[in-house]
Structure 1
């Protein structure tokens, strides 16, 4: 039995490393009161980060887009991620990096420039946004009635905590006995789900939405795998009617990888089981992990402690 105080996870907060249960922010932080934060999540598989540079690139872009400048530079951010994982002693991990607006230095100020931005990192035991047993039988997805927030209002390519519409979609899905939801925009085009990108397969071609979606790192990986395997794939506008007529559907995210779907609304896909292309891509995704694809080894604790 692991008695380490970091056994349930480790966090970096305000320059200190603490057990995850002790990680906190002030209730007056705009990251909390206004959801004024950006974040990213990278996973660790068998002691190695997957596509760490891609996640750091996206995090840096997100911070720039929201004018967030914590004291830590890219090298310090990366070191904090390594040390959180090393402290927690996790072979497989969900690792988050967050930049928050902070509290105003001037009492009562409504100027973002008056806030001291700060950075948080933490590592937790592996998380699947769709549980593994659900992935095995294929997830049941509900198409929510509430539309996704417009791209012009909240840029979906900047990873953020604005989840009100996604959470409302989850309410609907769970109320109807489904596992999770996907949302369409106000024009009826498919966007994404809460924490994952969506893909569909029709007549052997793989499609993923061109709007309302994070440009996911796992999404990028799936498109690369399709190219490697000679599967036609493209980013395209997907009307709701098209995904409802799909041969296969699957979700993709850092926290779970390629996750097959067996039902979309009232439609049962592939005899209520994951489809062949979905399964082939899932197998290839994890096989490439085993081969060290885009792998960055987690630095040992003694190394990161000395940095």
Structure 2
């Protein structure tokens, strides 16, 4: 097999492996036309997955909640992810698994159960949702005026591609010269940002939102680190005013880890640099990676794979 064609990334689509540039889905797939899909993302750090089992658990939960069954069982999905990474040759990677509704088996049907669900997976180069140089100086966070879609309408604990409100928030943030955005709900409580959970630090205590937010794996990691480091951290309501008056704030995401903010709206936090608690947690998070915390080694390429192209 010529592995050079996978150098830009490797994908699994239609039951076969392909270079990322050749990975496509039909334009009539409901995953595309209706955003009828769920997904999860796990990162690979120095040839090891981080919290792979937790991501697979959440992916299975999301599929069950949206009645999606692509056919591959958990063990097969895990093997596919390993092979995507191994084919790509990437030591640090962003690895996605997606279950899509597919197209109706019966022409013209509007019934979701008539669709042929299917799995897409891929491994591409590492992605940080906030660039590393911006992380170093402390990102600037805008609080969007668009309210987050209600939990009763779109369940935030089911990882999905409904990003219309988040994208509108990003337009607003960028128009004002800010790096990224966080949205509040209609009642004025902080929810999440595009691809990250938010933590607020006030008087030495940390809090992350209890609403409008994905149950992030990195959020869970931060809470575990806080317990290990003796920091007071909890999940609860965050009024907008608490964020605006915070001592520190940071994002938590698979795509970048712990990423501190230096400004929230027009408020400058601390000395306009990442705060001490945020920086301590960021350092601890990556140190634990170096120590093999929740690590699953990427399997080497096997000569045969039942679903390989």
TM class by shorter-chain length?
Answer: over 0.9
For residues 219-252 of structure 1, give each alpha carbon's deviation from its aligned partner in whole angstroms, at most 9, with x where no partner exists: 0000000000000000010000011000000000
**CA separation of 1:60/1:304 partners in 2, compared to 1, >3 Å: closer, same or farther?**
farther
Aligned length: 306
Long gaps (5+) in structure 1: none
Whether 1:126 and 2:148 are equivalent positions in the alignment is no
Whether 1:101 and 2:101 are equivalent positions in the alignment is yes
1:120-159 equivalences in 2 (<5 Å): 120-159=120-159
> Is the CA contact 2:3–2:88 (under 8 Å) kept in the aligned structure 1?
no
Whether 1:59 and 2:59 are equivalent positions in the alignment is yes
Q: Quote the Cα distance in structure 1 between the aligned partners of 2:305 and 2:83.
A: 7
Offset of 1:305 from its aligned partner? Answer: 4.0
1:268 corresponds in structure 2 to 268
Long gaps (5+) in structure 2: none
TM superposition score normalised by structure 1: 0.98
2:26 corresponds in structure 1 to 26
1:204 corresponds in structure 2 to 204
> Aligned to 2:243, what secondary structure does the other structure show?
helix
Offset of 1:108 from its aligned partner? Answer: 1.0
> Aligned to 1:78, what secondary structure does the other structure show?
helix
> Is the CA contact 1:79–1:304 (under 8 Å) kept in the aligned structure 2?
no
> Is the CA contact 1:200–1:246 (under 8 Å) kept in the aligned structure 2?
yes
Offset of 1:25 from its aligned partner? Answer: 0.3
Q: Quote the Cα distance in structure 2 between the aligned partners of 1:59 and 1:222.
A: 20
1:173-212 equivalences in 2 (<5 Å): 173-212=173-212
> Aligned to 1:261, what secondary structure does the other structure show?
strand
Whether 1:296 and 2:296 are equivalent positions in the alignment is yes
> Is the CA contact 1:105–1:116 (under 8 Å) kept in the aligned structure 2?
yes
**CA separation of 1:227/1:303 partners in 2, compared to 1, >3 Å: closer, same or farther?**
farther
2:257 corresponds in structure 1 to 257
**CA separation of 1:35/1:58 partners in 2, compared to 1, >3 Å: closer, same or farther?**
same
> Is the CA contact 1:82–1:304 (under 8 Å) kept in the aligned structure 2?
no
> Is the CA contact 1:83–1:304 (under 8 Å) kept in the aligned structure 2?
no
> Is the CA contact 1:11–1:122 (under 8 Å) kept in the aligned structure 2?
yes
> Is the CA contact 2:3–2:87 (under 8 Å) kept in the aligned structure 1?
no
TM superposition score normalised by structure 2: 0.97
Whether 1:162 and 2:167 are equivalent positions in the alignment is no
